């Protein structure tokens, strides 16, 4: 089954609006846990998980099962529990709370992420940052992306189109607050990039997509649900995500694990491979 065939019968605009509504609802759940305080436990891989992660994911899974019951869903907490469907063609990647450590620290850089993969590429994505009142979405198949202000439990404000920008001189990079490393610093230095904005979660993709930064390098490993929604948003806004050898970044890899990547707008990055230790 091809990715295209897998969503036949679904209107793309209707599906995207459904994904936006699900991200908003999940963001409201996350926000209520943020305000009231969420129980934290430690998973077998020693990463934290909260009641907000579980509640938001359950809401997204239930909603996706209604709007697109024939499309498999790979979700972070389901995968952590060993429940991973076989994927062949289109599938959803869900991270109900990207930036859990930021959430626990009472920061504001956590997001809800829902992405659609078709034929190995992210084609549709929604990123919602409830603590920042920022909602982003896009469809790469039509090359359009949007942003709207949206406070938790409040109506969505007017949307506006977003797009990547022409590179600044020197280019501005965006990097993670919690995953800074010497390899990233070396890559930035080699490219003469001295302006760097630090932000957490999938907001790094959103900043490049909305023309607030030029490039986002990541030398360390991530999971596909961490990147799918933001990557789709970036591609919809005119950007691209490349693997360490500057080839198009693909999804549906073994274990849904990512190696390093570079996400960029119109900036043309050097390969990341020489800076990564396998």
List, for residues 38-89, the tens digit of each pLDDT value: 899 999 888 999 999 999 999 999 999 999 999 999 999 999 999 999 998 8
In the predicted model, is pLDDT for residue 5 greater than 50?
no
Q: Please state the residue numbers annotated as binding site for substrate.
A: 76, 97-100, 226
Closest CA to 12 of 65, 87, 63, 67: 67
Domains, the chain, ranges and CATH? 3-162 (3.30.540.10), 172-275 (3.40.190.80)
Provide the pairing of β-strand 215-218 with 240-242: unpaired
Q: Are 267 and 171 in contact (CB under 8 A)?
A: yes
* CA distance from start to end of the chain: 33
Provide the pairing of β-strand 111-118 with 121-129: antiparallel
pLDDT tens figures, 138-162: 999 999 999 999 999 999 999 999 9
Mean pLDDT across 197-203: 89
Query: Which pair of tokens denotes residue 119?
Result: 């034929």
Q: Please state the residue numbers annotated as binding site for Mg(2+).
A: 76, 95, 97-98, 226
Q: Please state the residue numbers annotated as binding site.
A: 76, 95, 97-100, 226
In which region does residue 187 sit, left (phi positive, over 0), alpha (psi from -120 to 50) or beta (all else)?
Answer: alpha
């Amino acid at each position: 089954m091809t990715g295209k065939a897998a969503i036949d019968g679904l209107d793309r605009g209707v599906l995207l609006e459904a994904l936006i509504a699900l991200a908003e609802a999940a963001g409201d759940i996350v926000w209520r846990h943020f305000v009231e305080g969420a129980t934290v436990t430690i998973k077998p891989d020693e990463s934290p998980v909260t009641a907000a992660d579980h509640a938001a994911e359950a809401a997204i899974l239930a909603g996706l099962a209604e709007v697109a019951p024939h499309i498999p869903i790979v979700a972070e907490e389901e995968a952590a529990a060993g429940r991973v469907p076989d994927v062949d063609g289109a599938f959803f990647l869900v991270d109900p709370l990207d930036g859990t450590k930021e959430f626990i620290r009472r920061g504001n850089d956590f997001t809800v992420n829902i992405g659609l993969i078709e034929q190995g590429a992210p084609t549709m994505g929604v990123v919602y940052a409830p603590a920042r009142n920022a909602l982003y979405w896009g469809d790469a198949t039509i090359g359009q992306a949007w942003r709207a202000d949206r406070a938790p439990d409040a109506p969505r404000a007017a949307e506006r189109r977003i797009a990547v920008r022409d590179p600044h001189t020197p280019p501005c990079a965006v990097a993670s607050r919690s995953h800074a490393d010497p390899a990233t610093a070396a890559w930035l230095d080699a490219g003469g990039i001295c302006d760097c904005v630090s932000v957490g979660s999938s907001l790094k993709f959103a900043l490049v997509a909305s023309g607030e930064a030029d490039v986002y390098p990541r030398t360390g490993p991530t999971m596909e649900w961490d990147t799918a929604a933001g990557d789709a948003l970036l591609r919809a806004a005119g950007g691209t995500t490349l693997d360490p050898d500057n080839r198009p970044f693909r999804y549906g890899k073994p274990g849904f694990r990512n190696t390093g990547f570079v996400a960029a707008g119109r900036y043309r990055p050097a390969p990341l491979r020489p800076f990564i230790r396998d």
